[in-house]
Chain A
């Protein structure tokens, strides 16, 4: 913020940078300190024109849905609403229904476990693989691109495939385990195992993202640091601890926060694998929101559930922004 205002002051007649400054100025102080006659100059018109598409886009695709979602959560919004256009205000009834539901507690807990479990697994395996691919060896590039496959597969296809892999009777995973004389695991049929199975599949889905971003981060660490470190005796684990990790921190925070926001709203994988079952063992807030809205057609209650998700995501976004600002200030 500080740096941008300075930029405005020192460059009063910017032309090339019009887009950047216009965006900030237009929101902040329309009249500014400038003389009045400057209001409708061509330059100012251009500035405004540049803002309009972005502002319209934000208002249409971010502002409207968020506001609509909040108002919807305060209305009795059901199938009838679509025909009559009437959605009576019910205050916080939908929130009361949500918090009063026996599934709210378990869904919240499952969302937490699912998110933390998935992120931890994705990140650790992703970082390990990224470090591994930093070395030069034959087929490195080929193998790294193959790693992206889970990312390219439509999630609905991936979850259908995993469902057959995890099938208790004829799934290939249990056949494999059976070859070692172990009992078949009821991956998707036991309420105590299903959440773990769903997390494992989500880890598989998230690894490519983590590897790609972390690998990019690793590439940015100057080789000289390692050479210098090696001279001081920092190799192997010490090199990772004192050179790689501190230099990777900004990338790590991006990966973790984005991962958090992506994971907390995961729907398709769980729907495809268990549909929230068995016996509600894999219900999460996003599954509740989906089922209330599109199975029970209680759009108001569904909106209430998704608002909770938005608040949680927002919380992490704020933590991320604050952490980043601190890093810049330092």
Chain B
């Protein structure tokens, strides 16, 4: 290679490097433009009669079943809908993210214990602004959706917890479904044979574990505002007794409610605490025959009180008053009688309007015990509101401490409350 070609090459190379460097920056500039553009078009692109909806029913069959109810309301109100379904665990993060970017949906579904927390931020608009009729709904679910005296959303259908039992195993052992804690302990002990446990429940170190403890705590007169009370300790003693006697596996501290259902379906647990949302899964294994009763009580005469689960549809503050009014009508429609019955029947839930209970049980007899349970069910946030997560943390921590034998039952709550 001669000297001249060398320098030429150097020059072109130099040019090339400049070009390359510019090319490297260009996309950054373009992407900045396009990001701005996308943000702008998102709000302006939708028509005035399009409602955006955010929920967490991202699994079948729920996704389709809910879509049917949404479509019906869209037709009724003459609007088009744009629905987005995210996984349950991502919903709150998604809501926070969209709140900070001012792109909240027109209609937002929230898990009922989260409603007050989000309402407290000022991100939701109260139903009374739109004259939505909230009468006739079960008090528990209204309580969950109420923040500082205002109702922030409606739920078409709810769930709760009950005691499922394997009819075949109980019949073979000649045991009636238990109604009191003593009967529960006796039945669980009698049904524990070989690698089959009498009882299964979830005591996992998450809010799920706390939720499963509530029926025993509330039924016995315990309250989340006073976790140091003897009533609460007695409830903890019950579940510790079940595990220590070997009637329930010590793995309950790691079981989610889905794990509990798997144990029940596999015939490894004769009874379990679980909710009606497991019924479709239970139906998939027809050789396991089951039925359900209300949560057993400590002393005869007590009323079984279980926690209320389910999702509430709300109207976020988007700044577009007209759209918010339409969204409120939409929320009202999702919870109308027809939708309540349709959604409950299809998804094994309980209608929230008390007047529909009788008609519903006639239609779906398997839901009898759960419908009864819902009538007395309590919401998790009714007493504590935004403070509920802290109480829930204390509850599951105390359960874990006591079940692993780290701390005696009577000291568990005190220890857990210490942080």
Contacts and interface: CB of A to CB of B under 8 A. Distances in A.
Given A42-B18, A168-B251, A278 B13 contact: no
The SS class assigned to the A binding surface is loop
A150 interface: no
Contact of B17 (A15, A52, A85, A101): A15
Interface string A35-56: 0000000110110011011001
Contacts of A256: none
A277 interface: yes
Contacts of B298: none
B13 A16 contact: yes
Given A102-B419, A168-B249, A279 B404 contact: yes
Interface in A274-313: 274-281, 294-297
A278 B195 CA distance: 23
Given A15-B13, A18-B17, A83-B121, A278 B400 contact: yes
Interface residues of B, number: 44
Contacts, number: 123
Given A46-B21, A190-B404, A278-B404, A167 B100 contact: no
Contact of B195 (A85, A169, A274): A169
A170 B419 CA distance: 34
Interface in A72-123: 79-85, 100-103
A229 interface: no
A186 B25 CA distance: 57
B44 interface: no
B240 to A, nearest CB: 13
Given A49-B21, A83-B99, A101-B419, A277 B13 contact: no
Interface stretch (B90-98, B222-230, B374-382): B90-98
Determine chain B's interface SS by DSSP, over half rule: helix
Contacts of A52: 21, 24-25
Contacts of B99: 82-83
B251 A42 contact: no
Given A167-B251, A169-B251, A102 B418 contact: yes
A323 to B, nearest CB: 34
A81 B400 CA distance: 32
Contacts of A168: 249-251
A53 B205 contact: no
Interface string B204-234: 1110000000000000000000000000000
A15 B10 contact: yes
A174 B99 CA distance: 48
A188 interface: yes
**B249, B254, B268: residue with the most chain A Cβ atoms closer than 10 Å:** B254
Contacts of B123: 83
Contact of B18 (A49, A81, A296): A49
B150 interface: no
Interface string B175-199: 0000000000000000000010000
Contact of A82 (B17, B24, B121): B121
Given A16-B13, A190-B404, A275 B204 contact: yes
Interface in A307-322: none
B236 interface: no
A189 B13 contact: no
B389 interface: yes
Interface in B370-419: 389-390, 393, 397, 400-401, 403-404, 406, 418-419
Given A46-B14, A102-B418, A275-B206, A170 B268 contact: yes
A43 to B, nearest CB: 7
Contacts of A167: 251
Contacts of B118: 79
B28 A53 contact: yes
A297 B120 CA distance: 14
B33 interface: no
B121 A277 contact: no
A19 interface: yes
B1 interface: no
Contact of B100 (A82, A186, A188): A82
B397 A280 contact: yes
Nearest to A102: B419
Given A45-B18, A102-B418, A277 B205 contact: yes
B121 A189 contact: no
A278 B254 contact: yes
Interface of B: 10, 13-14, 17-18, 21-22, 24-25, 28, 92-93, 95-97, 99-100, 117-118, 120-123, 195, 204-206, 249-251, 253-254, 268, 389-390, 393, 397, 400-401, 403-404, 406, 418-419
Given A16-B10, A188-B254, A295-B389, 9 more contacts: A18-B14, A79-B92, A81-B100, A169-B251, A275-B206, A278-B404, A279-B403, A297-B96, A297-B117
Interface of A: 15-16, 18-19, 42-43, 45-46, 49-50, 52-53, 56, 79-85, 100-103, 163, 167-170, 186, 188-191, 274-281, 294-297
Closest 9 CB pairs of A and B: A49-B21, A277-B205, A83-B121, A82-B96, A279-B400, A83-B123, A46-B18, A82-B99, A80-B121
